[in-house]
Amino acid sequence: MNKASTRWAGRAYRQRETDQQIYAVGIGSNRLLAGLRPRDIVQQAFRALDTRPLRLAERSPIISSRPLGPSARSYANAAAIIVTPLRPHAMLDQLQAIERAFHRRRHRRWGARTLDLDLLLWSGGTVRSKRLTVPHPALADRGFVLEPLRAIAPQWRHPITGLTIRQLTFRLAQPRPSHR
């Protein structure tokens, strides 16, 4: 983590300069690629996310998580804070180009994947289009997304619920009331 990056920690993630956008990105991998383990692939993804026009401001620890869905192999998950002039749809293009570079196969939903990059949060608030929904709709329901994100952006507020990432993580960890 470089020195400048720590400036973002613990701050309100609102847009400060009109030409710089801040994004939280979720990273997941559960396949081998050319002998690389999922954890190594996430490491390499951090490098790809720090290549112009993207700047990696924060990187979370990499966690191992049980697969949600049909895959048998456990996932490596992490999160990153990215600063870039790219607006949301151009940012999604960039993330998908990185996924393609890691030979992601798209034909099976929730199947095994080499690298999955999700746009979780944007400093500008919400986006809702055919191609892109921000905040990511499943953000608040997934421990493997919230836990790494909490390590680097605990105070970032979800623009729809108004709750911080720390509060969302805490809420998810609570036992749920029984509906019987």
Binding site for Mg ion (CB under 5 A): 116, 118
List the single partner that 172 binds among ligand A4P, Mg ion, none, CB under 5 to 8 Å by kind.
none
Can you tell me which of 5, 43, 44, 65 binds ligand A4P, judged by CB under 6 A? Answer: 65
Q: Decide if residue 69 touches ligand A4P (CB under 6 A).
A: yes
Cβ proximity to ligand A4P: between 58 and 116 the closer is 116
Element of type H or E holding 94: helix 88-101
Judge contact between 132 and 119, C-beta under 8 A: yes
| Intra-chain end-to-end CA distance of the chain, in Å | 48
Instruction: Report the partner that residue 43 touches, choosing among ligand A4P, Mg ion, none (CB closer than 5 to 8 A by kind).
Output: none
For 73, list phi and psi in degrees, rounded to 5.
Answer: -80, 140
172 contributes a contact to ligand A4P by CB under 6 A: no
Q: Does 32 bind ligand A4P (CB under 6 A)?
A: no
Residue 75 sits in the site that holds ligand A4P (CB under 6 A) = yes
Catalytic residues: 104, 113, 116, 118
Task: Give the Cα separation of 149 and 54 in Å (integer).
Answer: 18
